[in-house]
Amino acid sequence: MPIEFCKCGGMLAPKGKNVVACRSCGSEIKKSLAASITESREKKDIVVIEDNRPDLPSTEKQCPVCGNDRAYWWLIQTRSADEPPTQFFRCTNGKCKHTWREYK
């Protein structure tokens, strides 16, 4: 099935049996279809550190919120494998607990 476009310029995609819809304006057109599109997304886990004293290494790093001079740190590969990982920091001050990240 060739890619077709709406009058507004948006791409038409199958919406149901014999119906295509514009992804931009939402208008629907009746048309016999030979193919369909399915989308799936993986749910990603989010790491949450609830304890103020996690089992993580710490380093000398100034917190941008409270000025404390120590922070826990960890690395996570947030982008593609050919790019460097993202380094996260969490303030060791029990009242602050600010978390921030730096890209290498």
Q: Where are the domains of the chain?
A: 1-37, 58-103
Mean pLDDT, residues 43-69: 79
Residue 52 — pLDDT band, cuts 50, 70, 90?
low
Give the right CATH number for 58-103 from 3.40.605.10, 1.10.10.10, 3.50.50.60, 2.20.25.10: 2.20.25.10
**Active site includes 69?**
no
Token duo for residue 54: 């996690």
pLDDT over 90 (residue 71): yes
Among residues 4, 28, 69, 83, the one annotated as catalytic is 83
> Of 89, 38, 98, 36, which is closest to residue 66 (Cα–Cα)?
98
Mean pLDDT, residues 32-41: 65
User: Residues of the chain with pLDDT > 70: what percent?
Assistant: 83
**Active site includes 55?**
no
